[in-house]
Structure 1
Amino acid sequence: MDMLVRLYDLPDIDDEVQVLKERGILIRRPGAYERHLVADWVGRHFSPKWVSETKTAFARQPISCFIATREKQMIGFACYDVTARGFLGPMGVGEEARKSGVGRVLLVSALRGLRNMGHAYGIIGGVGPADFYARTVGAVPIEGSSPGIYVDILPEPQA
C-alpha cells in the first residue's frame, strides 16, 4: 500500500531536533564521500533493494537522503525522490534507536526535502508501519495502490 501526505502541513520538529542533539544524535544530509558507508549500513540492516535506492539518492543534488548518527555511527536514514519522483523512501531506523524520536525527525526532514523541491503532496511507497505515518504526518492510504509502484510497470518487449 502507498500513502499520501500533505507536505504543506508538516509538523514542526525543531524542538525534537534539539533534544536529539542534546542526546548526541545528529540528523543531517550525508556527504557524497559517505555513499559507501550509508549503502553498507542500509545493506546490513535492511534490504539489497534499499541499497540500490539509497545509492540513487547520492546522484541527486542536493543529496536526497538524511541520516541519523550517534557517536559517528549511523542509526537511521530516510531517502526521498529515488524510487519515483515525489516518493519518500526507503527509510529505516536501526533496532537500537527505534522509539527514540529518530524516525519521526528523519521522516519529517525527508518530507521537507520533497516540499522544498516544490511538491505539495508526497507519496510514501510500499508502506510498512502505516500507523506511524498516519500518526506522525497525517498520511492516508491511497486506495487501490497495493502493491503500488513496486510491480513491473513496463511490459516485456514482444519478440
Structure 2
Amino acid sequence: MAHPVRAAMSAPGLAEAARVATAALTLDAGEAGALVERLSRPPAERRWTALATDGGVVMASMSGKDPAAGHVDLLAVHPSAQGEGRGRALVRAAEEWLREQGARQARFAGNPPCYAWPGIDVRYTAAACLAESLGYEFYRGAWNMTVDLSTDLSVEDDLARLEEAGVAVRAAGEDRERVAAFVAGHWNERWAWEAANAAGLHYAERDGKILAFAAWGARPAWFGPMGTAPDARGLGLGRVLLRRCLAEQRTAGQSTAQISWVGPLGFYSRAVGARAERVFWLYRRDLV
C-alpha cells in the first residue's frame, strides 16, 4: 500500500509530529514533544526536514561534520497505524531528501549537537529490525548512564575547599556566551552550541579564567556535555559541577537523569552512583 509523504515543517505539521511521537515513542513519551521541538530548532546552518504520512513522521538532517553524511533523527509511527509500511515509506522519503542535499550515506545515529538519541535504543526492536531490513548495517554502539536524583548531591564541603583555593563555582547567566567561547576553544563548536542552548549551565573560574563547565538540557532532560581544562584537572571540579547540574534537574521535577553518550563509566559511577542502562545501536547505509 502506498503512503503519500508530505512536508511537515509548518507549526501545525510539527504539532501533529509531536502528537504522533508522544504516542509511538513509549520509552520517551514524556519528552517526545520536546524532542520534536528541539530538532526543529537546530543550529542555524543545519539543513533539516520533517516529513509525514498519515500517522507517521520522520525528521532528517545533514551532518555539520561530514558533508557526505545524512541522519535520520527521529522516526515515529502511531501505534494505530503500525504494521502497514508507513515507517518504510518515511525512511525512503528521508533518504531521497538526503540524496537531494548531497548525502552519500544515511545514518540512524545522533547528529550532534542537536539530536534525539545517539542511535536506536535496543528496546525499540521494531525500529532496529526496520533499519536492517532496509539494508542498514550496525557499525557502533553507544550508551547512557542513569542517575537516581534522590541520591546525595551535596557539594557544600567541596565549595568551601575550592573557595579556599580561589575557585568560584557559578551558574551561567548573562555570561553564558563567555562560557560557550571557553567550550569552543577547548573542545569544539558542537559542545559550545549545547552549552549556549542548555537549560542549565554551570562553570568554575579562578582569577577571571574559566576552568571547567557542565551543562544539562540541551538535549531535553539529559545531562551533558561537561569538561575541565587540562591545567585545572585534579581539583575535583567535574564532580562539583555534575552534582550542581543534577540538583538543578531534580529541582526542575526530574526523579532520574540520563548522562548522555558516556565514554568512561568510572567517573560517573563514583561521583553520583550512575549505572549504565540505555544502550543504542548506530546504523548506516550507503546511498547509491
Q: 1:52 aligns with which of 193, 197, 204?
A: 193
What TM-score results when the alignment is normalised by the length of structure 2?
0.47
* Correspondence list, 1:72-111, <5 A: 72-83=208-219, 85-111=220-246
Distance 1:121 1:38, change over 3 A: same
Higher RCO (CA-CA < 8 Å; seq separation 6+): 1
Q: Are 1:35 and 2:171 counterparts?
A: no
Amino acid at match of 1:52: W
Counterpart of 1:42, as a letter, is V
Q: Give structure 2 stretches of 5+ with no counterpart.
A: 1-142
The residue identity in structure 2 corresponding to 1:108 is R
How many residues align? The count is 142
Q: Give the deviation of 1:47 after TM superposition.
A: 1.9
CA–CA distance in structure 1, aligned partners of residues 171 and 271 of structure 2: 21
What's the % identity of the aligned pairs?
32
Instruction: Supply the distance in 2 between the matched residues of 1:146 and 1:131 (Cα, whole angstroms).
Output: 22
The C-alpha deviation readout for 1:91-114, integer Å capped at 9, x for no partner, is 111111112111110010011111
Cα RMSD of the aligned pairs, angstroms, is: 1.7
Give the number of the structure whose residues are more often helix, by fraction. 1
What amino acid sits opposite 1:56 in the alignment?
A: N
1:23 and 1:113 mapped to 2: Cα distance?
A: 25
Q: Distance in 2 between matches of 1:138 and 1:89?
A: 16
TM-superposed CA distance for 1:144, in Å, is 2.1
Q: Is the 8 A contact 1:2 1:146 kept in 2?
A: no
4+ runs of 1 displaced by more than 4 Å? Answer: none
User: Residue 143 of structure 1: CA displacement?
Assistant: 4.1
Point out the structure with the larger strand share: 2
